[in-house]
Chains A and B, each alone.
Chain A
Amino acid sequence: MQINNGLVYLIALPLAGAIILLLAGRLADKWGHIFATLMSASSFAVGLLQLSQMLARPAEERAVEQKLFEWISVGSFQVDAGLLLDQLSICFVLLITGVGTLIHIYSISYMSHDKDRRRFFAYLNLFIAAMLLLVLGNSFLNLYVGWEGVGLASYLLIGFWNQKPAYATASKKAFIMNRVGDMGLSFAIMIAFASLGTVSFSGVKEAVPQASTASLTAIGIMLLVAAVGKSAQFPLQAWLGDAMAGPTPVSALIHAATMVTAGVYLITRSNFIFDAAPTAQLLVVIVGAITLLFGAIIGTAKDDIKKALAASTMSQIGYMILGAGLGPVGYAFAIMHLITHGFFKAGMFLGAGSVMHGMDDEVNMRKYGNLRKFMPITFVTFGLGYLAILGVPPFAGFYSKDMIIETAFNAGGIKGILLGSAALLGAGLTAFYMTRVMILTFTGTPRWDEKADPHESPILMWLPMVILAIGSVTSGFLLSRGDALVHWLEPLFAEHGEHEELLKPIVVTSLALLMVAIGVAIAFLKYSRSEVSRTAPEDVSILTKIVRRDLLQDDFNEALFMRPGQALTSTLVKTDEIVIDGAVRGIGSAALSSAGALRASQTGFVRSYAALILIGAVALVAAIWVVTK
């Protein structure tokens, strides 16, 4: 594999930005945002340079590596801090730095009234650096560093306005639920080292054919746990909705376009493990299918525009996970959906931010209405993203999502039918809730609060939205033209044989479009024909109430983990107080009282010491007496 010593700059630039901004403190308040944006943009430029160099090489030699330093060298455990840039990572690098730079630009304006803007940009740069390390690491351990880094950045950014206790709690919730997944990743690394003897991607890939299915399945399941945690998949999905506490650009960058897709990256990167562990792979598709429905269902009942989008993100990542779980045939589609989703979902989040900007940070869609007149650019860009997520041809989502649905149907047997139906149903639900968002926000009669002053956002905000909207329109077409992305990624994945087609592609497409049409129609009937109340109606069915409560995900977690955890903690506290502290204090008081007792023996009288010597002599003679018997 070729060596390229330029890879480190991809990470070093944003990392330097973060360090400088954090260390410079208030000195950097005036220029910090520009500097951070420049750092992110230059990283994007380095990425483009790498892409051009990569394109110049033949397909087999496109991957390049850079060894940074010898990191861990303990016995047979040798890990170098090394970077790997191949066809898969370059997609991510460009997505992260590209979308990241756009969001930096957007944030300059969006955060302009925040006195902590510099800190915000420092965290953004930190996130970019960590995310790049995640996708560039050449071993599971290096990936793990980035994995934790994005977790940290996510925590810092969700809790950016931590003066509000609810936001601080949301950041802690995200952090803790992510820890569960991170534990899975660390277990996966440990199992990999224990059973395969290496943790580097190339090493593991070589070792897979000789490894036992059991250990591969264990690694696969643990990797899935990691992916589930980071990508907010079922059953670790509860944190994503609350993560919307962070500033909207954060939601766009971290909780829509990049970080939450790290799970998809992990599964795709570990394709050689999942290909050899069918059980783990089956679990992956199950998780994906459940989550795509779960997220879509939650999305139907959300009045908070950001939470609706977050539910949508969850659902769309469910699609990606589903695609990645379908094996070699699905990886490329998962990545394609990931990229297109990165465009349209980031665009929609920025649109939501733009709406909030004009509506005095109001997030309740029931208090919007008729905004298309006041925010034409936002409406158009959001609308393009909407069409893309719906999968309307020729927008981006059509190409990527359709392929996943198709592949799901082709998985074979009942599994294929179930997965395909779930994906189809998800598409319908997506159409419903996204149409609902569109109608509530941009059409109908105004239901604003007095303070709302809807106006179009400044150019620094709408320009990134426009660029992302262009991406939402074109990326799908560009990436699938002549199966461009599929061929691009082909060297990374195993060969896949031709599957018998359960349904012809045209049938699947028609079905999907039909479902979308039905979803859109229902939403129109429900929200466009009648007046929308400013408050959510209370006389609703029990099902609606459950969905409004996020399908009881928090109640479930509270009942299953929090309460027993609290009980355990209080028990442990009591145990600590009684047993541990008791033992410690007991030892202390025992020492004290025994010392007091012994003190009496220290009379200071020579004769009593002489008596003690005499007793000792008696003991000695007695010992001799016993021994010589």
Chain B
Amino acid sequence: MNAANYLYVSALLFTIGAVGVVVRRNAIVVFMCVELMLNAANLAFVTFARINGSIDGQIMAFFTMVVAACEVVVGLAIIVTIYRSRRSASVDDASLLKR
């Protein structure tokens, strides 16, 4: 089997995640889709590491995980804050920017 297949899976997962960010309205689901995109990228990193015989790809994936963890912490805190004031987790409700 060709290792590039992992890359195809990675690309598809990334695309699905991107669509999810655009299409879903629940902020938490949007966040999960972002996580999915990050994971897809990680899969690509790991696969690159394997293909190139270098451990650096895995290090990158590791860093991505750390950053993703940070992002989730802050992002969920923001969601909670918004929810507290608006009683809604829909990203469409936070659309004051246009006015």
Contact = CB atoms under 8 A, between A and B. Distances in A.
Chain A partners chain B: yes
Interface stretch (B42-50, B60-68, B91-99): B91-99
A604 B97 contact: yes
A607 B92 contact: yes
A504 to B, nearest CB: 104
A604 B22 contact: no
A587 interface: no
A305 B92 CA distance: 93
A611 B19 CA distance: 8
B18 A614 contact: yes
Interface string A599-620: 0001111110011001001000
A603 B98 CA distance: 6
Nearest to B21: A610
A610 B21 CA distance: 7
A605 B18 contact: no
Nearest to A615: B22
Contact of A611 (B22, B25, B97, B99): B22
B95 to A, nearest CB: 4
B91 A604 contact: no
| Chain B at the A interface: SS class | helix
Interface in B40-99: 91-92, 94-99
A421 B97 CA distance: 93
Contacts of B25: 607
Which residue among B92, B94, B96, B99 has the maximum number of chain A CB atoms within 10 Å of its CB? B92
Contact of A605 (B19, B21, B23, B92): B92
Interface in A577-613: 602-607, 610-611
Interface residues of B, number: 15
Contacts of A611: 22
A519 B93 CA distance: 106
B98 A606 contact: no
B24 to A, nearest CB: 8
A389 to B, nearest CB: 88
Contact of B21 (A602, A604, A607): A607
A617 B92 contact: no
A614 B22 contact: yes
* Interface core residue of A603, A606, A611, A614 (most chain B CB under 10 Å): A606
Nearest to A611: B22
A614 to B, nearest CB: 5
A617 B91 contact: no
Contacts of B96: 604
Contacts of A606: 91-92, 94-95
17 contacts: A602-B98, A604-B95, A604-B96, A604-B98, A604-B99, A605-B95, A605-B98, A606-B92, A607-B21, A607-B22, A607-B25, A607-B30, A607-B91, A607-B92, A614-B19, A614-B21, A614-B22
Given A605-B92, A614-B18, 19 more contacts: A602-B97, A603-B95, A603-B98, A604-B96, A604-B97, A604-B98, A604-B99, A606-B91, A606-B94, A606-B95, A607-B21, A607-B25, A607-B30, A607-B91, A607-B92, A610-B21, A611-B22, A614-B19, A617-B18
Of all A-B residue pairs in the complex, the 4 with the closest CB atoms, nearest first, are: A604-B98, A604-B95, A604-B97, A611-B22
